[in-house]
C-alpha cells in the first residue's frame, strides 16, 4: 500500500466520510480540527475503521477530532468564524488563544530535565529518571496519523519553536558515557520509526559503534517508542526500506543490546488487522521485544473488559503489557480524562480477569512533574477513605516504592487535584520545590 495521508485540508475527499457522516458531523471535525492537529491515513481508513458503526469505533475516535474536545464557547467561536469566512490571521489568533488555554506543556516538558554537557544544552533530550535518557530525533517528530488526545500535540501544530529536536548524537553518546547510571536510551517523538531507515542509521550506527568500541559499557537497552505497527504496519512489510529496518534491529541485537519497542496500543481492535499481526511477527523475528502502553481515555477505552481483552490479545501476539497511563493534563483532558478513583476501578477489574502473564502491566500511572505516580487504590482506615499512591519512577530515585496517601476524591483527575492525608504536604513536595528554584 502506498502511504496517503489526509488532514484538515483534504479529509472531506475521503469517500467513507462522504458516505457515512452527516454534514454537521463533517463540520464538527472541521471546527475541532482547526484547534487540535489532525491527520489520518489510507491504512486506517481502508483496513482499520469499521465505518458502518463509526460512532462506536475506537479507532475512528482515536484519530478523528470530536466536538466534545472543545468547550461549548470555544466551539461556537471557531464555528462562527468559519461560517463567516473570517480572514486567516484573525482566525489563527483566536485558535491560538484557545490552544494556549489547553495547557500545551504539561509536566514542565520544555524547560526541565534538559541534559547539559560542558555548558552545552542537549536540546533534543530529556534526562529525568536516573537510568533512562529520552531522545527526540529531529526527523521523528511526527506520526503516521495523529491521536486526537496526543500530549505532544503542540509540536505538530508548530507552536513549539524548540520542538524537542536534536541531531546531536555525538553529544548524546558523550553524555551517556559520562553518566554511567544511564542504561537505557529511549527514542521517542512523535514516532521515531516514521524516519526512513537511512536517517535512523545516522543516529543508531554511531551508538552501536561506540558500544562496540567499549565506550558505552553502561548502555544496555535501546527503545523505540512507536505507534507505527498500528498506524502503518507496511513500515515492516512492504515499504522500500522495511528489510533494512529489520536488519538494523538485528544489528542492535548483535551488539549485545536489548531492543524493545514500547508500542502505543489503545484498544484490542487495533491488533485485529492481518497486516498489523504480520508486522508484529516480523519485528519479533528480528529479536526485538514488544511491550505495550496506553493512556486510559474516556470515549476510547474506559472499560475494563476492553483492557483485559487488550492485554490477553497482546500476550497472544507476544507483546508484554507494560503501562496504563492516566490522561495527561493537556489538550482536551476534560473530554478524555478519567478520574483517579474510576481509573483504579477499571484497572482492578481488568487486572482481575487476566492471568499472571498479563499482569506485567503497571498502572494507572500519572506522568507528573515529580515522577510517575501509580494509583495503588482506595483504602479505608478507621472508617475514612483514602487514596494510596506510590512512585514507580521519581525525579529522586529514592522516592520510588514508598506508599503515600491522599484524601479520597472521586472527581480528582490528576496528582495536582489531590490533597495530602495525615500530613500538610506530600513527602516529596519540599524537595520538589527546591528543584523548581
Ligand atoms: C516513562 C518515562 C521514562 C521511562 O521509564 P521506565 O520506567 O524505564 O519505562 C523515561 N523518561 C521519562 C521522562 C518518562 O516519562
Ligand atoms: S502516536 Fe503518540 S506521538 Fe503520535 S499522535 Fe499518537 S499519542 Fe501523539
Considering the domain architecture, whether residues 33 and 96 belong to the same structural domain is answered as yes
Q: 20-24, 371-375, 403-407, 431-435: lowest mean pLDDT where?
A: 431-435
- Band (pLDDT 50/70/90 cuts) for residue 124 is confident
Domain holding 95, by residue range, is: 5-101
Question: Using a 6 Å cutoff on CB, does residue 323 contact ligand 1?
Answer: no
Q: Is residue 329 part of a domain?
A: no
pLDDT score recorded for residue 154: 76
Same domain as 137, residue 43: no
Both 66 and 81 in one domain: the answer is yes
- Whether 316 is covered by a domain: the verdict is no
Are both 131 and 55 inside the same structural domain? no
Same domain, 273 and 152: yes
CATH number (domain holding residue 185): 3.20.20.70
Distance 299 CA to ligand 1 centre (A): 26
In whole angstroms, give the CA distance from residue 414 to residue 367.
10
Which of 40-54, 77-91, 105-119, 180-194 has the lowest average pLDDT? 105-119
pLDDT tens digits for range 168-222: 788 899 999 999 999 999 999 899 999 999 999 999 999 999 999 999 999 999 9
Q: Can you spell out the DSSP letters for 88-155?
A: HHHHHHHHHHHHHHT-SSGGGTTTSS--EETTEE-TTEEEEETTEEEE-BGGGSS-SS--TT-TTHHH
Ligand 2: list residues with CB < 6 Å: 143, 146-147, 150, 152, 189-191, 227, 264
Same domain as 84, residue 127? no
Percent of the chain with pLDDT over 90: 84
148 belongs to a structural domain: yes
Domain shared by 169 and 88, yes or no: no
| For the chain, percent of residues with pLDDT exceeding 70 | 96
Does 154 lie in the same domain as 85? no
**CA-188 nearest atom, ligand 2:** 3
Distance 163 CA to ligand 2 centre (A): 14
Tell me, what's the pLDDT at 436? 66
Q: Which of 46, 66, 101 is the last residue of a domain?
A: 101
pLDDT band at 104 (very low <50, low <70, confident <90, very high): confident
Q: Is residue 120 located within the same domain as residue 21? A: no
Mean pLDDT, the chain, integer:
93
pTM of the model: 0.95
Q: For residue 335, how far is the Cα from the chain centroid?
A: 17
Mean pLDDT, range 362-382, rounded to an integer:
96
With a 6 Å cutoff on the Cβ, whether 367 touches ligand 1 is yes
Residue 67 placed within a domain: yes
* Residue 429 within a domain: no
For CA atoms 395, 398, 401, 402, the dihedral sign is negative
317 domain residue, yes or no: no
Q: Whose CA is nearest to atom 8 of ligand 2?
A: 150
Q: In whole angstroms, give the CA distance from residue 72 to residue 119.
A: 47
Report the pLDDT value the prediction gives residue 114, as an integer from 0 to 100. Answer: 87
Calculate mean pLDDT across residues 131-157: 88
The whole-number pLDDT of residue 261 equals 98
Q: Please tell me the total count of domains within the chain.
A: 2
Atom of ligand 2 nearest to the CA of 226: 1
Ligand nearest to the CA of 106: 1
Residues 265 and 144 in one domain: yes
How far does the centroid of ligand 2 lie from the alpha carbon of residue 310, in Å? 19
Mean pLDDT of 116-139: 90
- Residue 322: the pLDDT is 98
Closest ligand 2 atom to Cα of 227 = 1
Per-residue pLDDT of 380-427, as tens digits, reads: 999 999 999 999 999 999 999 999 999 999 999 999 999 999 999 999
Atom of ligand 2 nearest to the CA of 142: 4
Within this chain, do residues 63 and 178 fall inside the same structural domain, yes or no?
no
369 lines ligand 1 (CB under 6 A): no
Of the three residues 259, 287, 315, the one that is the final residue of a domain is: 287
Q: Tell me, yes or no, whether 404 lies in a domain.
A: no
**Same-domain check for residues 118 and 261:** yes
For residues 281-319, one letter each, b for 16 or more C-beta atoms within 10 angstroms of the residue's C-beta and e for the rest, the string is: ebbbebebbbbbbbbbbbbbbbbbebbbbbbbbbbebeb
For residue 272, pLDDT over 70 is answered with yes
Tell me how far the alpha carbon of residue 272 lies from the centroid of ligand 2, in angstroms. Answer: 20
Task: Report, as an integer, the average pLDDT of 330-359.
Answer: 95
Which atom of ligand 2 lies closest to the CA of 190? 3
Has residue 312 been placed in a domain?
no
Residue 129 CA, ligand 1 centroid: distance in Å: 7
Amino acid at each position: 500500500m502506498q502511504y496517503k495521508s489526509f488532514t484538515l485540508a483534504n479529509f472531506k475527499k475521503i469517500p467513507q466520510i462522504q458516505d457515512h457522516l452527516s454534514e454537521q458531523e463533517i463540520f464538527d471535525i472541521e471546527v475541532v480540527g482547526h484547534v487540535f492537529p489532525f491527520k489520518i491515513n489510507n491504512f486506517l481508513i481502508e483496513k482499520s475503521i469499521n465505518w458502518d458503526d463509526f460512532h462506536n469505533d475506537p479507532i475512528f475516535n482515536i484519530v478523528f477530532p470530536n466536538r466534545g474536545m472543545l468547550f461549548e464557547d470555544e466551539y461556537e467561536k471557531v464555528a462562527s468564524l468559519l461560517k463567516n469566512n473570517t480572514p486567516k490571521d484573525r482566525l489563527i489568533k483566536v485558535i491560538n488563544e484557545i490552544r494556549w488555554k489547553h495547557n500545551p506543556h504539561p509536566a514542565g516538558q520544555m524547560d526541565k530535565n534538559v541534559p547539559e554537557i560542558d555548558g552545552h544544552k542537549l536540546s533534543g533530550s530529556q534526562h529525568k529518571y536516573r537510568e533512562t535518557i529520552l531522545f527526540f530525533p529531529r526527523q521523528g517528530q511526527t506520526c503516521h496519523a495523529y491521536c486526537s488526545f496526543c500530549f505532544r500535540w503542540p509540536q505538530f501544530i508548530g507552536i513549539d519553536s524548540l520542538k524537542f529536536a536534536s541531531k546531536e548524537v555525538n553529544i548524546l553518546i558523550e553524555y551517556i558515557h559520562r553518566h554511567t547510571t544511564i542504561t537505557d536510551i529511549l527514542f521517542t517523538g512523535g514516532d521515531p520509526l516514521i524516519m526512513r531507515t537511512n536517517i535512523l542509521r545516522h543516529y543508531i550506527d554511531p551508538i552501536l559503534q561506540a558500544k562496540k568500541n567499549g565506550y558505552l559499557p553502561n548502555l544496555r537497552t535501546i527503545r523505540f517508542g512507536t505507534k507505527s505497527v498500528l498506524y502503518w504496519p507496511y513500515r515492516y512489510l512492504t515499504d522500500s526500506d522495511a528489510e533494512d529496518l529489520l536488519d538494523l534491529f538485528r544489528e542492535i541485537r548483535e551488539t549485545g543490546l536489548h531492543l524493545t519497542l514500547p508500542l502505543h496500543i489503545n484498544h484490542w481492535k487495533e491488533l485485529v488487522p492481518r497486516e498489523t499481526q504480520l508486522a508484529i511477527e516480523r519485528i519479533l523475528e528480528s529479536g526485538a521485544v514488544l511491550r505495550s502502553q496506553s493512556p486510559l481515555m474516556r470515549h476510547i477505552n474506559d472499560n475494563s473488559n476492553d483492557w483485559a481483552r487488550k492485554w490477553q490479545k497482546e500476550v497472544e501476539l507476544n507483546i508484554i503489557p507494560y503501562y496504563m497511563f492516566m490522561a495527561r493534563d493537556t489538550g482536551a483532558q476534560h473530554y478524555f480524562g478519567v478520574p483517579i478513583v474510576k481509573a483504579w476501578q477499571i484497572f482492578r477489574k481488568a487486572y482481575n480477569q487476566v492471568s499472571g502473564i498479563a499482569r506485567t502491566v503497571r498502572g494507572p500511572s500519572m506522568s507528573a512533574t515529580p515522577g510517575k505516580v501509580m494509583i495503588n487504590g482506595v483504602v479505608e482506615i478507621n472508617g475514612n477513605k483514602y487514596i494510596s499512591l506510590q512512585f514507580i519512577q521519581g525525579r529522586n530515585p529514592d522516592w520510588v516504592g514508598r506508599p503515600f496517601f491522599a484524601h479520597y476524591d472521586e472527581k480528582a483527575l490528576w496528582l495536582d487535584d489531590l490533597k495530602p492525608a495525615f500530613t500538610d504536604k506530600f513527602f516529596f513536595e519540599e524537595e520538589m520545590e527546591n528543584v523548581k528554584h
